[in-house]
Amino acid sequence: MKQELLKVTDLHISFKAKGEPVRAVTGVTFSVSKGETLGIVGESGAGKSVLGLSLMGLLPENTAYIPGGSIEFDGTDLLKLNKKQIRAFRGDRISMIFQDPMTSLNPVMTVGDQIIEALRYHNKEHLSKREMEQRVDEVMELVGIPAHRKKEYPHQFSGGMRQRVVIAIALVCNPELLIADEPTTALDVTIQAQVLAIIRQLQKQLGTSMVLITHDLGIVAKMCDRVAIMYAGEMVEQGTIEDILTGDFHHPYTLGLLGSIPNLEEDTDRLKPIPGLMPPPNALPEGCRFHPRCAHCMEICKHKAPEQHYEHDGHYVACHLFAKEGQRDE
Ligand code: SF4
């Protein structure tokens, strides 16, 4: 039986604003098992990155707050920890790869020093200086950077190589959970494929669980075991990769995302972008948040938010189309 590593339950994240607080994430529930990769997918502004930061305890302190929910990691609710306790988890047991390697790296430190710094901060194995140096060499080789380049600075590396350094920093402490937020968006397409292949290979090799945040269902298809679709701060569908890509039951937003994936073997004229725009978190519509863009919108959708309906084998859809007999109040 799969062992649960991360369990997020009914999580809400809001931002302070003049007037009403702005709800960035509303009632999100999901879990990640040991060794599993969960893709969190949605358009920009869906709340994916805010959710990723909350898992790392990195939400901006002055503006963001969590009105409810829990984030349990290996049985510990991270939301109940103080700053010092959460720092002990961050980098050591949970690591993050951000979108832009240039903003994650220190431009005036050699890449070797930056990797060793991450190791020294935790050093749970009480490694000597020499052993730490060896570990840095190993992790650089693992991500495909010759160890002799550890004395170079970030500006001496290409974009793809810089992202490999970021991956090395994230993995040097052998974390149990890796959160990767659009890890290849800043890279060109050929380099994207190489970096994704490295992440996938290392993750399998080290047995790391991963939450992969992306707007790209194509990337999810290659990397993930399960998928959660986010729209306007809510999770609207969750299922295995097979369920989401080839299954019969889909939330209309998921269908829209599937219809907007480019397929080089097919006529790209048939691509159908989802009409309209995602509402900003300070102007969410009543009822189903997707209703102004939904081709299947019914009267009930305009005033009643749908609940999550269980389909089969862990597949959940939050849409009135899937309500059982008698659950709709039309
Ligand atoms: Fe469309 Fe209604 Fe389903 Fe929302 S609840 S996705 S508006 S059919």
| Digit-coded pLDDT (tens) for 91-113 | 889 999 988 877 889 999 999 99
Atom of ligand 1 nearest to the CA of 288: 4
What mean pLDDT comes out for the span 50-56?
96
- Ligand 1 pocket, 212 CB below 6 A? no
Contact 131, 138 (CB under 8 A): no
- Rounded Cα–Cα distance for residues 52 and 181 (Å): 7
Q: Where are the alpha helices (DSSP H) in the chain?
A: 48-55, 83-89, 101-104, 111-122, 129-142, 159-171, 189-206, 217-223, 241-246, 252-259
Beta strand pairing call for 22-33 and 4-15: antiparallel
Contacts of 61 (CB under 8 A, 6+ apart): none
Residue 18's pLDDT is: 83
> Which of 17-31, 109-123, 256-270, 290-304 has maximum average pLDDT?
290-304
- Ligand 1 pocket, 321 CB below 6 A? yes
- Ligand 1 pocket, 183 CB below 6 A? no
What mean pLDDT comes out for the span 168-187?
91
Residue 311's pLDDT is: 74
Residue 226 predicted with pLDDT over 90: yes
Residue 112's pLDDT is: 95
- Ligand 1 pocket, 287 CB below 6 A? no
C-beta neighbour count of 239 within 10 angstroms: 24
Residue 326 pLDDT level (bands cut at 50, 70, 90): low
Residue 327's pLDDT is: 54
What is the chain's mean pLDDT, rounded?
89
Residue 2's pLDDT is: 78
> Of 17-21, 78-82, 107-111, which gets the smallest average pLDDT?
17-21
What mean pLDDT comes out for the span 212-236?
94
What mean pLDDT comes out for the span 145-164?
94
Torsion angle of C-alpha atoms 120, 122, 126, 127, degrees rounded to 10? -40
Residue 99's pLDDT is: 83
Residue 329 predicted with pLDDT over 90: no
Residue 103's pLDDT is: 81
What mean pLDDT comes out for the span 218-242?
94
What mean pLDDT comes out for the span 271-278?
82
Tokens 């290659």 label which residue?
222
> Of 11-15, 222-226, 259-263, 312-316, which gets the smallest average pLDDT?
259-263
DSSP 306: P
Residue 305's pLDDT is: 95
Contact 79, 10 (CB under 8 A): no
Q: Who has greater pLDDT, 218 or 306?
A: 306
Residue 317's pLDDT is: 93
Torsion angle of C-alpha atoms 205, 207, 211, 213, degrees rounded to 10? 0
- Ligand 1 pocket, 177 CB below 6 A? no
Atom of ligand 1 nearest to the CA of 236: 6
Residue 264 predicted with pLDDT over 60: no
Residue 233 predicted with pLDDT over 80: yes
Written as one string, the DSSP assignment of 130-160 is HHHHHHHHHHHHHTT--GGGGGS-GGGS-HH
Residue 269 predicted with pLDDT over 60: no
What mean pLDDT comes out for the span 257-272?
62
Residue 299's pLDDT is: 96
- What percentage of residues in the chain have a pLDDT greater than 70? 93
Tokens 């000597």 label which residue?
128
Residue 186's pLDDT is: 79
Ligand 1: distance of its center to the CA of 293 in Å? 9
Q: Which two tokens stand for residue 316?
A: 């959940």
Residue 324's pLDDT is: 67
Contacts of 157 (CB under 8 A, 6+ apart): 111, 149, 165
